[in-house]
Amino acid sequence: MAPTLPEIKLIAILPEIILAIMACALFVIDPFIKKEKKSQLGYFSIGALVLSAFSSLFLFGESITTFSGMITLDAYALFFKILFLVAAIVVVLMSIRYVQVERINLGEYYGLILFATIGMMLMPSTTDLLSFYLSLELMSMSFYILIAFMRKDPKCIEAGIKYFLTGVFASGIILYGMAFLYGATGTTNLSEIATFIQVNEITSNPSLSMAFVLLITGFGFKIASVPFHMWAPDVYEGAPTPITAYLSAGSKAAAFSVMLRIFIDAFSLSSGNWWQILWIIAVVTMTLGNLLALVQSNIKRMLAYSSIAHSGYILIGLISASEIGYAAIMIYLVGYVFMTLGAFVVIVLLCSRNLKGDQISDFKGIAQTNPMVALTFMLFALSLIGIPPTAGFVGKLYLFNAAIQGEFYWLAIIGILNSAVSLYYYFKVVQIMYTEEPSENTVLSFSPPIKVALGITGFATLFIGLYPEPIIKAALYSVKIFL
């Protein structure tokens, strides 16, 4: 019998194709652009991202599985694709001035951001372990370079090496877990794995357990959950601020988007006792993250610990393993992306030639010199704590909803205790902005792109807080694929 080629529907990855072509084009154009005009490449990549976002809007309502079941385009994937594209746009907007200040105004910077975005966008689409691994590596590779982009800054190099080593290690562990999974089930396709487990009624199988533990470990590194979080503070501190923002918001969201696919589709988390291990990780992650954030004086490190804590909160949704829980993860991630990016935009605003702007004390008195910036930062802080009317509140409400509905009362109580603790360190920054006198060397330098970035993130954080209906509806519609 002649082998038949599998049918390939390229439309399923249309947004990624557009972005990939544009990214390659960017590398080609790059040498022809004068050094002082490299910002044009930033606008070029924004154009690419917008184009890709538009093309994904046309794919609404489609449900395509192609590449021999490796890639699936459904509402769930589209939800995340658009989120990543918006996040990438904000990251590029805040980069345009930052790269000039830090003298890393090179075309590759934007190109690599686009490639990292492609990797992220593919991740929620993957329904096969192999395609998942490929997209994960595409994203990680781009980040390895981006994090170490300030070649002359030793801290940045340190961050790059740390992220590279832990990242490669984590990828190796994920690969090892995938090997066990393949060994136990004989397939790499997620739905086939699920069928195999169901049909053979496997409840406890050593290699399946091994696979689960290894995958959790690998993902634990990617989402920076305790005890796999050690790299995060150093990397966040050393990396260029927009890249830290993208790492914190984008790559974490991407990892969660694929975790849902793997752990719910393949492992069917709702049955069995898988949740117990996640319960412990979630509790330790949020508690340790919040406690360590209390004592930081560098705001990027503080946000690193806070982002660790947020991973803990998001795991609540995975543990409760219900429709509301999955929707909660998606809703929370949307809010999380905007509020985290927004906080980093303000840090970028503070950065100038003679001030790194990453110490909490650099925020002194901004409320008097730039009231709108202070107000917007306070909005992000409120959102990160989970105080209404912000996106963070809606997300937390949904997560606690999921916990209460799933009768994980202790998890909910530990979650709210942590939220209360987080108030202290977020408001330490707000307090410094509002109650201290401004210092002379804090000069915020505005440029139109960064204003737009601050506007997008601030508006989204407030709007989702006041009218979350569209996001909730989209999330509830998307998670139907898991039921």
Residue ranges in contact with another protein by CB under 8 A: 367-368, 371, 378, 382, 385, 387-389, 393, 397, 400-401, 404-405, 412-413, 416-417, 419-420, 423-424, 427, 431, 434-435, 467-469, 472-473, 476
We find the least distance from the C-beta atom of residue 71 to another protein, in angstroms, to be 29
We find the least distance from the C-beta atom of residue 40 to another protein, in angstroms, to be 37
Q: Which DSSP symbol is given to 250?
A: I
Nearer to another protein, 254 or 421 (CB): 421
We find the least distance from the C-beta atom of residue 326 to another protein, in angstroms, to be 14
Nearer to another protein, 196 or 427 (CB): 427
We find the least distance from the C-beta atom of residue 53 to another protein, in angstroms, to be 24
Q: What is the DSSP string of 24-47?
A: HHHHHHGGGS-GGGTHHHHHHHHH
Nearer to another protein, 122 or 381 (CB): 381
First to last CA, the chain: 38
Nearer to another protein, 107 or 386 (CB): 386
Residue 369, token pair as written in the block: 């010199």
Nearer to another protein, 164 or 482 (CB): 482
Pairwise CA distance, residues 354 & 442, whole Å: 9
In which element (H, E) is residue 17 found?
helix 14-29
Nearer to another protein, 180 or 400 (CB): 400
We find the least distance from the C-beta atom of residue 142 to another protein, in angstroms, to be 36
**325 near 317, Cβ under 8 Å?**
yes
Nearer to another protein, 203 or 435 (CB): 435
**125 near 71, Cβ under 8 Å?**
yes
Q: Give the relative orientation of helices 469-478 and 391-405 as an angle to the nearest 10 degrees.
A: 40
Nearer to another protein, 303 or 412 (CB): 412
Pairwise CA distance, residues 221 & 232, whole Å: 9
Residue 200, token pair as written in the block: 């053979």
**Tokens 């694709």 appear where?**
81
We find the least distance from the C-beta atom of residue 423 to another protein, in angstroms, to be 5
We find the least distance from the C-beta atom of residue 419 to another protein, in angstroms, to be 6
Helix ranges (H only) for 102-199 are 107-122, 129-147, 154-185, 190-199
Q: 463 to each of 84, 345, 457, 468, how far by Cα in Å?
A: 18, 18, 10, 7
We find the least distance from the C-beta atom of residue 297 to another protein, in angstroms, to be 17
